[in-house]
Amino acid sequence: GDVSRSPKSIREERARHLSPNLSLSYAEPLKIVRGEGQYLYTEQGEEYLDMVNNVCHVGHCHPRVVAAATGQMPVLNTNTRYMHDNIVNYARELLATFPDSLEVCFFTNSGSEANDLALRLSQNYTGQKDMLIVDHAYHGNLTSLIDLSPYKFNRKGGKGCPDHVKICPMPDGYRGSVKWDDPDCGEKYADMAIEQLEALQKQGRKPAAFIAESLLGCGGQIVLPDGYLKRVYGAVRSAGGLCIADEVQVGFGRIGSHMWGFELQDVVPDIVTLGKPIGNGHPLGAVITTRAVADAFFNGMEYFNTFGGNPVSCAIGREVLQVIRDERLQHNAGKVGQHILDGLTEMMDLYPLIGEVRGRGLFIGAELVYDRDTLEPATAEASKVVNFMKERNILLSTDGPLDNVVKIKPPVCFTMENADQFLKEFDDCMAVISQA
């Protein structure tokens, strides 16, 4: 068989045969060859605690998920034009986790495909093209979604905001113009979104949809202020548009208190998009919508997706759902996440570098700043923290518009012991970095 390549050889082969715009994490990239639960292992057997991977949601290579895949793979894998139990059984169980009005699902192969379909569904239903989005959002790698992703189109290599898109300010009560302690924080940010809607209407146009993550991931782990989505959704619907919740990063119980992030905002979207954790690493995505939106899409043109909804993917997706339930992982995410949030918040007294700690469940961000008044972003320090923690065998990443937010989103099987280990090492890391 193939001999194992050295890191140097892999980098050379990547340079030779892969596109240079695939990046590697960390100053010294890792060669990981095995995963189990919340742990990743190098060839030498060195163990890393994975606090980055929100895709392998119930744990890397979860035995039940692996068994679901390897049970179905030798039997049958086809497209959806034959009748099969798996797709209907899975659809029924997935839909049971949503409010009653969300009663139809489409299966795709990625979060991007799910969001592209959501876009098509909303444009078809409304007969409109224009979209309202939230600043700094990322919704996927398809051409249609780069257009909806300021995280791409307004950064290096991007071509700016397209004509059919209006950007609503990010409801960030830390850095934005309205602060969290303003009792009308949510309403005020909603009004800024409504201003964008009105700007569209002044041009004689109407929205197809408003799309937002239910908690902002690439925006820097931001929990939406109370009342925000309710007010924006109301205005968008009055203007004839639909409301799309992108749950690709935050869904499936990660936030602890609820299965879905939009539930925090007491709203029911017209369309919800799912990805990443849905297949625990297997390429799977889904769009959940109302009967009315789905039926309007049935206009004579078939929706065909070669791989979407195949028996293997559906067996895997269903097993992931059952593992979340059987292992009470949503509850675990809430409990362990709160412990991390509390620990980090306590550290703010010791380390002025930590400007804000925020999140829900195991979806957490620590925003680093040089100055708590000017909020000058400590981007270099955030990168140092991540590399320092990696030397202590704990994997983290950074995100946010200024790339100064330490992002925490481990598999939801993360334990209290893992959390304590993280907090101890993070404390140590902050002490070292604060002294330097």
Tell me which residue has tokens 């001999």: 3
- How far is residue 324's CA from residue 321's CA, in Å, rounded to a whole number? 5
Report the nearest approach of ligand PMP to the CB of residue 301 (Å).
23
Helix (H), strand (E) counts: the chain: 13, 17
Task: Based on the shown chain and the rule CB under 6 A, indicate whether residue 140 belongs to the binding site for ligand PMP.
Answer: yes
Give the one residue of 249, 265, 280, 290 binding ligand PMP; rule: CB under 6 A: 249
Q: How many CB atoms lie within 10 A of CB 145?
A: 22
Q: Give the binding range for ligand PMP (CB under 6 A) out of 92-100, 107-115, 350-358, 417-425.
A: 107-115
Task: Based on the shown chain and the rule CB under 6 A, indicate whether residue 135 belongs to the binding site for ligand PMP.
Answer: no
Three-state SS at 399: strand
Residue 249, burial from CB neighbour count under 10 angstroms (0-12, 13-18, 19+): buried
Kindly state the tokens that stand for 318: 């269903």
Task: Based on the shown chain and the rule CB under 6 A, indicate whether residue 25 belongs to the binding site for ligand PMP.
Answer: no
Task: Based on the shown chain and the rule CB under 6 A, indicate whether residue 248 belongs to the binding site for ligand PMP.
Answer: yes
Q: What are phi and psi of 114, to 5 degrees?
A: -65, -45
- How far is residue 216's CA from residue 248's CA, in Å, rounded to a whole number? 11
Report the nearest approach of ligand PMP to the CB of residue 247 (Å).
8
Kindly state the tokens that stand for 161: 């905001």
Sheet holding 47-50, edge to edge: 32-36, 39-42, 47-50, 394-395
Site string for ligand PMP, 273-312 (x = CB under 6 A): --xx------------------------------------
Report the nearest approach of ligand PMP to the CB of residue 317 (Å).
14
Nearest to 220 by CA among 286, 174, 156: 174
Name the residue nearer to ligand PMP (CB basis): 110 or 418.
Answer: 110
Task: Based on the shown chain and the rule CB under 6 A, indicate whether residue 401 belongs to the binding site for ligand PMP.
Answer: no
Task: Based on the shown chain and the rule CB under 6 A, indicate whether residue 138 belongs to the binding site for ligand PMP.
Answer: yes
Site string for ligand PMP, 215-234 (x = CB under 6 A): --x-----------------
- How far is residue 24's CA from residue 15's CA, in Å, rounded to a whole number? 12
Give the one residue of 110, 214, 404, 418 binding ligand PMP; rule: CB under 6 A: 110
# chain residues binding ligand PMP, by CB under 6 A: 15
Q: Which residues bind ligand PMP (CB under 6 A)?
A: 110-112, 115, 138-141, 213, 217, 246, 248-249, 275-276
